Amino acid sequence: MHVLDRKLLRDLRRMWAQVLAIALVLACGVMILVLAIGVQRSLEDTLEAYYERNRFAEVFSGAKRAPDMLLSEIRALPGVRVAETRIVGQVVLDLPGLEEPAAGRVVSLPDVDVPALNLPLVLTGRPPAPDAVDEVMVTRAFAEANGFVPGDRFSANLNGRKRTLTITGTALSPEYIYVLGPGAMLPDNRRFGILWMPRRALAAAFDLQGAFNDVSLALTRDGRAEEVIPALDQLLAPYGGAGAYGRAEQASHVFIEGELTQLRALARILPPIFFLISAFLVNMVLARIVTLERGVIGLMKALGYSDAAVAGHFLKLATLVSLIGIAIGWSVGSWLAQGMAKLYTEFFEFPYLVFQPRAGSYAISAAAGVATAGLGAIQGVMRAVRMPPAVAMVPPAPPSFKRGAVDRMATWARFSQPSMMVLRGIGRWPGRAAFSILAIAASVAILMSASFFPDSLDEIIDTSFFRQNRQDAMLILTGDRADSVVEDARHLPGVLAAEPMQYLPAVLRHGHLSRRIAVEARDPDATLSRVTDAAGRPVTPAGDGIVLSDRLAERLDVVPGDRIEMQLLTGRRETLTLPVSATATVYFGLGAYMDRAAMARLLRQPPQASVVNVAMDRDKARALYAAAKDTPGLAGTVLLFQTRTAFSETIARNILNTTVVYIVIAVLITVGVTYNGARIQLSERARELASLRIIGFTRAEVSYILMGELMLLSFLAQPVGWAMGWAFAYAQVKSFSSDLYTLPFVMTSATYAKASLVVLAASAVAALIVRRRIDRLDLVAVMKTRE
């Protein structure tokens, strides 16, 4: 082994704690890059392969009843490569071992061959026989949640007719990667599933012989969805077309794109912080090594070592530090990525999603880690290279001190001598002190950006489940019904109150901006389901006006008082111009709300209901559940009290995991900065501290000088960290906000306090570890060293 390499290994062994502290900070940046980029690309590749192999459609539309002969005209549309019609319906399920009614979406399979689009991937068993009337294939998660295997049976209410169905197999579909029931906020595989049945059987059950109510399209290479959609809408309009939409608006795909957006934001925001702090630590440590080894550097050059050899020696040191951090980051990042893949399988129905080592993510993270160490080492290496041997072998000239503003302020304030030394230590290296403050502040910011989540989610739960959606259950109807259905609901056992609500699919436009959305029409005196403003006050539409959620108003660039166009996608498909009467604070989806009577007046029809919200007597829940399973015209039920519990439990579990990770990261940054800072101070001021001990200063006073500077910097970093944390949290809220959901920006005083306490405690622990070395100082040996 080369002599300089042996010296390098001795240096690493001597400085192992400092090296590890830097490597751990660097590892955090590497870990997040491996995690975010690796999982993101794995998810993208999985989607691309799954969509292609199982022929996921690009344009979708529903209708009430369209004749099969219309298919030839749809296929003839410019840009259409493949078109396939289906029958799709909502059903109420009576499952063994489940008291409450479940729901399902039943999808037809062609009588011959396999589907041309949205091909189900059969996992177990087989598809139902084309001529069978009571066989179904179900989604894997639904079967697993209910303990079903091929051959098991359950009952379903198909368009008012109850039928016993036999499971023939389980499958997955690219159309239902994220399976969300009507009105649900989280997947519930126990109570909602996708069912595939032969088309002939479904046509008979829903009275759609020779007709269809759903169509999917795949486009040619030159086909454009924005050109095909209007043409398809025009063809389906006479048959109750519900408005075509592209893959970008398909429910399952939208949720997956939202997850990809979060991964991209994670890879873009956090790693640069860790790499910047790592570069600072490498610079600080290497600069001190060069200062301490002036004589060694001069001797190396005098013995014939070239400037390149000296530079290479110190660059190797920085590179080894980075390699240790990269190895740790790769290991932890791969482990966390596997955990995230398992988490995805809880919410997303992929045929497979196992994190595979991706050369790209590892190469990018390794290049970033080595470049970070190299940039941090440049200043120290250049000092070593430029130092002539004769100058290097002479002790450096003592620094020149003069009274400055800090000294005058300390004298005026009558600080003690140790306090004066603490302030002078900071004033002596203002750049290093400033960067230490920024690095510690980054720890505070990272903790705050994680700690605000629980408060935000508490606000979501309080607003969405207790101020707005206060009903116990939602009865989803198979279609719009007259108001007499509300009276029928009131007579169901256990129902204490019932209120109607109507959903109308529409496109809202303002100038060149538009959004496809389901407009909710309620009665103005409704109390079970309502919307509120930012202060929690109920908001009701005024007259023929429309209330928009804050995010929808932002997307359409409107404020109260503006007028927007509403193109209805059902019925007469009229286009209405409505005033925006107010905005509401809604955290799930993009909401638009109207007065139900006003909506009926504009449509020139009696008021109707597509959903009935009910308050129920929990003691009579069993009777209500039994009645709901046999009620005709009911497409499903959503039990809001169960949704509240499931949402709270799921979010609490995920937030706990996220908070622990962020705390570990923040502690690593704090310890890395304070420990290295303390070690460097000790090496710089060992002779000074030993002199103080000899002339009578106690260990406590000497320790105060060393720890006081570090703790003062830590305290000064808190306000900076609070400002950075506020900005980071706000940036997260904005980057994670989508059409599906948003996070309220809630920052409480407890969030600031918790972040500061954790960081200050970590700083104190790191300083105390170094402080122990003061007790072990050999005063005679230290006094013999050269300044």
The string of DSSP letters for 414-475 reads T--HHHHHHHHHHHHSHHHHHHHHHHHHHHHHHHHHHHHHHHHHHHHHIIIIIIIB--SEEE
Question: Which residues, other chains included, contact 338 with Cβ-Cβ below 8 Å and sequence gap of 6+?
Answer: 354, 355
State the average pLDDT over residues 646-660. Answer: 69
Tokens representing 262?
């979060």
Give yes or no for a contact between 134 and 164, defined as CB atoms under 8 angstroms apart. Answer: yes
Average pLDDT score, the chain = 84
Q: Which residues of 454-473 are buried (b: 16+ CB within 10 A; e: fewer)?
A: bbbbebbeebbbeebbebbb
Question: Strands 592-595 and 513-522: what pairing?
Answer: parallel
pLDDT-derived band at 644, boundaries 50, 70, 90: confident
The two structure tokens encoding residue 412? 């005026």
Q: Which CATH number fits domain 495-616: 3.40.50, 1.10.260, 1.10.443, 2.40.40?
A: 2.40.40
Identify the pLDDT of residue 314.
83
Whether residue 428 has pLDDT greater than 90: no
Around 538, how many Cα atoms within 13 Å sit in the side-chain half-sphere? 17
Spatial separation of the C-alpha atoms in residues 3 and 227, rounded to whole Å:
72
Q: Give one DSSP letter per residue of 559-577, joined into a string.
A: -TT-EEEEEESSTT--EEE
Q: Where in the chain do CATH 2.40.40 domains reside?
A: 495-616
390, pLDDT greater than 80: no
Please give the pLDDT value at position 354: 63
| Residue whose entry in the numeric block shows the structure tokens 């007719």 | 161
Q: Which residue has the higher pLDDT, 556 or 759?
A: 556
- 185-237 pLDDT, tens per residue? 778 888 899 999 999 999 998 999 999 999 999 999 998 999 999 999 989 98
Q: Quote the pTM value.
A: 0.77
Query: How far, in Å, are 328, 330, 357, 467, 560 from residue 369 at the CA level?
Result: 11, 11, 18, 49, 50
Say which DSSP state 393 is in: T
Q: Could you give the C-alpha distances from 255 to 145, 177, 187, 589, 740, in angstroms and in order? A: 21, 9, 12, 11, 7
Per-residue pLDDT of 496-521, as tens digits, reads 999 999 998 888 999 889 888 889 99
Residues 254 and 180: their CA atoms lie apart, in Å, by: 12
Kindly tell me if the per-residue pLDDT of 677 is higher than 80. no
Q: Rounded to 5 degrees, what are φ and ψ at 197? A: -135, 155
pLDDT at 167: 96
Q: Which residues contact 470 (CB under 8 A, 6 or more apart)?
A: 527, 528, 529, 530, 615
Q: Span 680-696, mean pLDDT?
A: 69
Q: Which of 127-131, 216-220, 491-495, 770-774 has the lowest mean pLDDT?
A: 770-774
Structure-block tokens of residue 356:
């595979």
The yes-or-no verdict on residue 182 having pLDDT over 80 is no
pLDDT in tens, 329-386: 888 888 888 777 777 766 788 887 766 667 778 888 889 889 988 888 888 888 878 8
Distance of CA 703 to the CA centre of its chain: 44
CB under 8 Å to 607, separation ≥6 — which residues?
483, 500, 502, 596, 597, 599, 600
**Residue located via tokens 């503003």:** 405
SS3 479: strand
Is 210 strand, coil or helix? coil
Residue 183's nearest CA partner among 525, 496, 529 is 529
Q: Rounded to whole angstroms, how far apart are CA atoms 347 and 263?
A: 16
* Under 8 Å between Cβ of 16 and 317: no
Kindly report the length of the chain. Answer: 787
Confidence of residue 787 (pLDDT cuts 50, 70, 90): very low
CA dist 202 and 196 (Å) reads: 10
- Calculate mean pLDDT across residues 275-304: 78
Instruction: Give the phi and the psi of residue 749 in degrees, each rounded to 5.
Output: -65, -30
Question: CB within 8 A of 60, min separation 6: which ones?
Answer: 214, 215, 216, 217, 244, 245, 246, 247, 250
Residue 782 predicted with pLDDT over 60: no
CA dihedral over 245, 250, 253, 257, signed as positive or negative: positive
Mean per-residue pLDDT, 534-550:
88
More confident residue, 664 or 96: 96
- Amino acid 121: pLDDT: 93
Read off the tokens for 618: 């929990």
- Return the H-helix or E-strand segment holding 172: strand 161-172
CB 174 within 8 A of CB 187: no
Mean pLDDT over residues 177-192, rounded?
A: 82
Evaluate whether 634 touches 157 at the Cβ level (below 8 Å).
yes
Give Rg (Cα) of the chain: 34
